[in-house]
């Protein structure tokens, strides 16, 4: 394969200034490797905390929201352009729980985006063991469906979660709650709700989600037992929890479910709004740092090519005098920038992968802001990040090389040769 004259000249210029070429390539390498490392760290931590949030939070939660009286009835009765104002609005008196929950569940199952769905009865309770009392919540669930959604089996420290369906008045408690009340599997605990009588329940299992607040307050019971605890009938359901095949569609599906059912549908982004805000801020900070690194590398390439033009000005003039067009001169210097970008990018990908892997093996053995344990720094090895890194590296070098190349193309050979 024959190499063009422009390419030969570009390679010759690069090889004649090995030290400067190496420094420019190292600048690109550093920028690309830092881009990969920071993107790997950002995605790794984001994925970890999203996974932590999904340990206890469904993609969508459907529930009956407390509503305040508004002026919509006045607007429908007095159909004029006046503004209706309701003074001192009060909470509306409405039925607790969801009306016809199992009919709604069957409707929602028809949605092709839904992967899992389960009803829940939530009860605020007081746990009593001996003289110690603690506030918390009991989630009355279909434990088999709950396991499909949140992998309860992997969270179990002792006992069998299936016992909720086998043993009367059984309960699964979080490890934090067990520690505070000095309870073990097989012990009894008294659970009292605001609407029902105290109920003595048997601890058939202890679990951990890694989220401290959940482990210290939440317990699971059979949905029928939770209804009995509250003194409600079998149709009483407070929440419907839904997991989707793609959780990124949760906000759109949630709005559709609100229209379909008339109940509040809270998607996981709303439930974890602070977490998502933290993700965005961290992404802005990391991307700004990477952008500055690549900008510095670009200035290095710009300065090197500028110096090359200054030193080779007479040779450029001769090239133009012998018939090389301005486009050919631009091609020569742009190729130099591209070769520097390719060299730096390829080496940067390797070092970025090496740094990311090294950090993924760093043991930190601590707790997270969400209360979970984190043994190693979470890193993601996401292939598109490596592709993005090489593209950004090449774009930076091309942008840095274009302006010196255009300057070289405008050299007047007559003036330089006379000079």
- 167-196 residue pLDDT tens: 989 999 999 999 999 999 999 999 998 776
Strands (E), 326-398: 363-367, 373-376
- The two structure tokens encoding residue 202: 């048997």
Q: 262 with 286, same domain?
A: no
Q: Which domain holds residue 143?
A: 62-69+90-267
At which residue do the structure tokens 């009355």 appear?
140
Q: 39 with 173, same domain?
A: no
Say how many domains are in the chain.
2
Q: Which positions of the chain have pLDDT values less than 70?
A: 1-2, 66-95, 196, 273-276, 279, 294, 297, 300-301, 305, 308-313, 365-374, 411, 413-419
Q: Please report the sign of the dihedral spanned by the C-alpha atoms of residue 164, residue 170, residue 171, residue 172.
A: negative
- What is the H or E stretch that residue 184 is in? none
Which pTM was predicted? 0.65
Count of CB atoms situated within 10 Å of the CB of 285 = 12
Separation CA 21–CA 336 (nearest Å)? 9
For residue 10, the model assigns a pLDDT of 78
End-to-end CA distance of the chain: 39
Q: 140 with 19, same domain?
A: no
For residue 26, the model assigns a pLDDT of 83
Strands (E), 114-180: 114-129, 132-141, 156-159, 170-174
Inter-CA distances, 405 with 197, 251, 417, Å: 84, 49, 20
Q: Please report the sign of the dihedral spanned by the C-alpha atoms of residue 387, residue 388, residue 391, residue 397.
A: negative
For residue 416, the model assigns a pLDDT of 63
Question: Parallel, antiparallel, or unpaired: how do β-strands 199-207 and 264-267 relate?
Answer: unpaired
Residue 283 lies in a domain: yes
Q: 316 with 381, same domain?
A: yes
Convert 312-331 to b/e letters by CB count within 10 Å (16 or more is b): beeebbebbeeebeeebbbb
Separation CA 84–CA 70 (nearest Å)? 9
Residue 290 lies in a domain: yes
Which one, of 158, 373, 86, 125, lies nearest residue 228 by Cα?
A: 125
Q: 116 with 180, same domain?
A: yes
Contacts of 267 (CB under 8 A, 6+ apart): 59, 60, 250, 251, 253, 254
End residue of a domain, out of 233, 267, 301: 267
- What is the H or E stretch that residue 264 is in? strand 264-267
Contacts of 50 (CB under 8 A, 6+ apart): 275
Q: 343 with 414, same domain?
A: yes
Convert 69-92 to b/e letters by CB count within 10 Å (16 or more is b): eeeeeeeeeeeeeeeeeeeeeeee
Q: 105 with 248, same domain?
A: yes
Which one, of 218, 192, 191, lies nearest residue 206 by Cα?
A: 218
Q: 105 with 159, same domain?
A: yes
Separation CA 162–CA 155 (nearest Å)? 13
Residue 219 lies in a domain: yes
Inter-CA distances, 337 with 288, 308, 330, 342, Å: 23, 12, 11, 9
Residue 222 lies in a domain: yes
Q: 381 with 257, same domain?
A: no
Residue 75 lies in a domain: no
User: What integer best gives the mean pLDDT of the chain?
Assistant: 81
Contacts of 363 (CB under 8 A, 6+ apart): 375, 376
Residue 40 lies in a domain: yes
Q: 394 with 324, same domain?
A: yes
Separation CA 280–CA 292 (nearest Å)? 18
For residue 402, the model assigns a pLDDT of 78
Residue 221 lies in a domain: yes
End residue of a domain, out of 217, 236, 267: 267
- The two structure tokens encoding residue 71: 């002026």
At which residue do the structure tokens 């209804």 appear?
227
CA angle 390, 393, 398 (to 5 degrees): 120
End residue of a domain, out of 234, 267, 300: 267
Residue 79 lies in a domain: no
Q: 263 with 327, same domain?
A: no
SS3 assignment, position 216: helix
At which residue do the structure tokens 């829940």 appear?
120
Q: 350 with 374, same domain?
A: yes
């Amino acid at each position: 394969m024959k190499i063009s004259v422009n390419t030969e000249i570009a390679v010759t210029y690069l090889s004649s200034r090995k030290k400067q070429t190496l420094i420019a390539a190292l600048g690109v390498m550093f920028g690309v490797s830092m881009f990969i490392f920071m993107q790997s760290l950002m995605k790794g931590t984001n994925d970890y905390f999203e996974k932590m949030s999904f340990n206890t939070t469904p993609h969508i939660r459907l529930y009956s929201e407390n509503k305040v009286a508004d002026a919509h009835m006045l607007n429908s009765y007095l159909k004029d352009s006046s503004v209706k104002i309701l003074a001192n609005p009060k909470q509306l008196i409405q039925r607790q729980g969801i009306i016809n929950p199992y009919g709604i569940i069957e409707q929602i199952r028809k949605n092709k985006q839904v992967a899992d769905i389960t009803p829940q009865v939530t009860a605020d309770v007081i746990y009593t063991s001996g003289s110690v009392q603690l506030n918390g919540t009991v989630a009355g669930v279909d434990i088999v469906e709950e396991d499909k959604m949140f992998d309860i089996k992997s969270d179990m420290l002792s006992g069998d979660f299936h016992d909720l369906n086998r043993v009367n008045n059984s309960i699964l408690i979080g490890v934090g709650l067990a520690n505070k009340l000095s309870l073990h599997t097989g012990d009894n605990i008294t659970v009292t709700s605001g609407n029902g009588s105290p109920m003595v329940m048997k601890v058939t299992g202890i679990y951990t989600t890694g989220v401290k607040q959940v482990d210290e307050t939440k317990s699971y019971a059979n949905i029928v037992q939770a209804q009995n605890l509250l003194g409600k009938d079998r149709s009483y359901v407070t929440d419907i929890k839904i997991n989707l095949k793609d959780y990124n569609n949760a906000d759109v599906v949630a709005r559709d479910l609100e229209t379909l059912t008339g109940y509040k549908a809270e998607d996981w982004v709303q439930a974890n709004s602070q977490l998502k805000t933290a993700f965005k801020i961290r992404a802005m900070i990391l991307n700004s740092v990477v952008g500055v690194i690549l900008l510095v590398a670009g200035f290095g390439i710009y300065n090197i090519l500028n110096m090359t033009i200054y030193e080779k000005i007479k040779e450029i003039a001769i090239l133009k005098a012998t018939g090389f067009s301005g486009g050919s001169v631009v091609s020569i210097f742009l190729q130099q920038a591209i070769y520097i970008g390719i060299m730096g990018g390829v080496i940067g990908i390797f070092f970025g992968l090496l740094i990311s892997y090294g950090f993924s093996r760093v043991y930190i053995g601590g707790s997270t802001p969400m209360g979970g344990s984190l043994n190693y720094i979470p890193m993601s090895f996401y292939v598109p990040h490596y592709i993005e890194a090489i593209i950004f590296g090449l774009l930076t070098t091309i942008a840095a090389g274009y302006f010196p190349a255009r300057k070289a193309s405008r050299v007047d050979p007559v003036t330089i040769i006379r000079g």
